[in-house]
Amino acid sequence: MKVSVFGTGYVGLVTAACLAEIGNDVLGMDIDQKKVESLNQGVTPIYEKGLEEILVKNLKEKRLKFTLSHAEAVQHGEVLFITVGTPQKESGAADIKYVEALALKIGQNLDSYKVVVNKSTVPIGASVWVKNWIEKAEKKSASIPFDVVSNPEFLQEGTAVKNFLEPDRIILGTDSKKAEQILKELYSPFVQKGCPLLVMDSVSSEITKYASNSFLATKISFINEIANYCERVGGNIDFVKKGMSLDKRIGEHFLNAGVGYGGSCFPKDVEAMIHFGQSENTPFQILTAVRSVNAKQKKILLQKLKHQFSSLQSLKIAIWGLAFKPFTDDVREAPALELIQSLKKEGAKIFAHDPVALKNAKIMLGEAVHYVEDQYAVLKNADALLILTEWPEYGQADFKKIKKNLNQPHVFDGRNLFPPSVGKDFGLYYHSIGRQTEKPNL
């Protein structure tokens, strides 16, 4: 099938590459010239496991290419995917100015029947707005028919290619039988492998996306509160989590205690949901608590550091992990960034390492941080090591090397990568979340 994907960010690029991979003829479109040039040369501007291989393969096999032209992309696809960003406004609402601008371009260039699929995470009711914007922009004389379908995306950065190719479910929000049939055909390779495809009205589909992310964020804030309580009363969150998650009604996912949730989705989607509830006079009381627990949790390591050292002034802090989660270079709303800013305010000197996110972190944090490419060199003479992303290489850390390089024997692990006793034999204090710090054998 001929498909166009508008926006080639984390969602759009994965959508374009994966739809080409399953045999479609895909044209990706973006307004960012550098991105389009780089993609046409087979170089991904973002880091996502397995993505570059699929990109290169499908460019070569001529099932995928990229353009800067809205007109070309509208004409190319029978199905047009909207995957542009919907960042948070100051009010907490989702800003859909990019969706609106794109809808107008689609309207201006419409030449035949199209299924316009909204994959961006948009406010409730946006499918109708998109329809109106396209109609408004259509040449008066033309009035070419089209349908707008809500099709929220649930991929997770870090495992986005796998999530897209093996989705848990596909949701279509539409009342058009024609659009439903076309998308059922497009998604048939996934359905044939057993993936459920649900058709519903567009409002329910849009709510499903926000409700899913809000629920996952709730699980994280819930376990973080339990972890803080464990720490206080002598418990161990690992045991509690294990005990809870063996209950099939609860499950094991999103129950890892840590330094709070971040990324480009959970914070903004929870915020947007709170905003929607307030606007409709049905406030989401749970979500306001989820948000405030998370804000507090993002400061948990700062508190632990302040408790350990009387002043953070001139303290040298080494950081492992800047990305908001492993296997991505995305640092948007990453707990590490907020913590680094707080530590800088306290006068600490920051030396940071991340396997792939140094470049993006530098764009956000500038020269105030020393960026170090070697995982152990970053520790040289540091007063403490903070682990903020659960990259596998950190999980295989050599504690002898950590001890040798650090100036003071303190590791603060915001991701609980090791058992609480790990530092003991190396003469290190290993502080973690929701567990007791054991005294080292000095």
Among 148, 265, 339, 385, binds ligand NAD (CB under 6 A): 265
Report if residue 102 touches ligand NAD, rule: CB under 6 A: yes
Binding span for ligand NAD by CB under 6 A among 2-10, 19-27, 133-141, 182-190: 2-10
Judged by CB under 6 A, which stretch of 81-89, 174-182, 231-239, 420-428 contacts ligand NAD? Answer: 81-89
Phi, psi dihedral angles at 382 (to 5 degrees): -75, 150
Cα–Cα separations (whole angstroms), residue 212 to 109, 151, 265, 352, 367:
34, 14, 11, 33, 37
Looking up tokens 């007791």, which residue turns up?
436
Evaluate whether 388 touches 232 at the Cβ level (below 8 Å).
no
CA–CA distances in Å: residue 356 to residues 196, 372, 374, 414 = 34, 11, 12, 19
- Return the number of the residue (155 or 300) whose C-beta is nearest ligand NAD: 155
Q: Which is nearer to ligand NAD, 13 or 348 (CB)?
A: 13
Determine the 3-state secondary structure of 29 from DSSP. strand
9 contributes a contact to ligand NAD by CB under 6 A: yes
DSSP 105-119: HHHHH--S-EEEEE-
117 binds ligand NAD (CB under 6 A): no
Which of 29, 179 has the CB closer to ligand NAD?
29
Phi/psi for 267 (5° steps) reads -60, -45
Q: Identify the residue among 1, 22, 25, 31 touching ligand NAD (CB under 6 A).
A: 31
Q: Indicate which residues carry an active-site annotation.
A: 265
Cβ contacts of 75-78, under 8 Å, gap ≥ 24: 75/109, 75/111, 76/2, 76/4, 76/25, 76/27, 77/2, 77/3, 77/4, 77/27, 77/114, 78/1, 78/2, 78/3, 78/113, 78/114, 78/115, 78/182
Give how far Cα 6 sits from Cα of 98, 104, 206, 227, 280, Å. 11, 13, 19, 42, 31
Instruction: Give the integer Cα–Cα distance in Å for 329 and 435.
Output: 29
Q: Is 150 in the site for ligand NAD (CB under 6 A)?
A: no
Taking the C-alpha atoms of residue 294 and residue 298, their distance in angstroms, rounded to an integer, is: 6
- If the CB atoms of residues 11 and 237 are measured against ligand NAD, the closer one turns out to be 11
Tell the smallest beta-carbon distance from residue 397 to ligand NAD (Å): 27
In the complex with ligand NAD, the residue whose CB is nearer, 155 or 182, is: 155
**Single residue of 19, 27, 29, 357 touching ligand NAD by CB under 6 A:** 29
CB of 70 to ligand NAD, least distance (A): 7
* Residues 343, 328: Cα–Cα separation, whole Å: 24
x/- string (CB under 6 A) for ligand NAD, residues 237-256? --------------------
| Closest residue by Cα to residue 327 from 255, 257, 395 | 395
**C-alpha to C-alpha distance for 58 and 26, rounded to whole angstroms:** 9
Among 3, 5, 7, 271, binds ligand NAD (CB under 6 A): 7
Listed in sequence order, the DSSP H helices in 328-386 are 335-345, 358-365
Piece of the chain touching ligand NAD by CB under 6 A; list 4-12, 187-195, 232-240, 251-259: 4-12
Segment contacting ligand NAD by CB under 6 A, of 129-137, 141-149, 151-159, 410-418: 151-159
The stretch near ligand NAD (CB under 6 A) out of 150-158, 302-310, 348-356, 388-396 is 150-158
Task: Assess 120 for contact with ligand NAD (CB under 6 A).
Answer: yes
Please select the residue that binds ligand NAD; options are 4, 24, 58, 86, rule is CB under 6 A: 86
155, 336, 348, 411: which one binds ligand NAD (CB under 6 A): 155
Shorter beta-carbon distance to ligand NAD: residue 157 or 231: 157
Work out which of 24, 83, 150, 389 binds ligand NAD, going by CB under 6 A.
83
Interaction of residue 157 with ligand NAD, rule CB under 6 A: yes
Question: What are the start-end ranges of the H helices in 43-192?
Answer: 51-60, 70-76, 97-109, 126-137, 160-165, 177-186, 188-192
Contact status, residue 20 vs residue 63, Cβ threshold 8 Å: yes
Q: Give least dist CB 278 to ligand NAD, A.
A: 20
Nearer CB in complex with ligand NAD: 71/295: 71
**Residue 151 vs 375, nearer CB to ligand NAD:** 151
List contacts with ligand NAD (CB under 6 A).
Answer: 6-12, 29-32, 35, 83-86, 98, 101-102, 120-121, 153, 155, 157, 264-265
